[in-house]
Amino acid sequence: MHTVTAVATAPDAELVHQATVARDRAESLRVQSTALPAVLAATYRRRASELELEAFLLEATAGVPENEMHLAAV
């Protein structure tokens, strides 16, 4: 009989950094959108949402535990 053991590995630091940069850019776009005309503001918010999704996927790919992922409430 074989025993399966889980090996914990540290998340990929480069991917985590890329996720942080994407999330920071998303936040910046959301802040900027408050001072823009409606059509442009919607475009900024949409791009922010795309960046937040990218950040989530980067964290998942990096191996960040689910309970430590940053989930955006959009």
The domain limits of the chain are 13-68
Is the pLDDT assigned to residue 2 strictly greater than 80? no
Residue type (1 letter), 57:
L
Listed as own residue / partner, the contacts of 6-11 with beta carbons closer than 8 Å and 24 or more positions apart are: 9/63, 10/63, 11/59, 11/62, 11/63, 11/64, 11/65
The reply to whether the predicted model has a pTM over 0.85 is no
- Using CB atoms within 10 A of its CB, is residue 72 exposed (0-12), middle (13-18) or buried (19+)? middle
- Position 4 scores a pLDDT of 62
Q: Which residue has the tokens 């900024």?
A: 44
Return the biggest CA–CA distance within the chain: 66
Reading the block at residue 32, the tokens are 């900027």
pLDDT for 63 beyond 70: yes
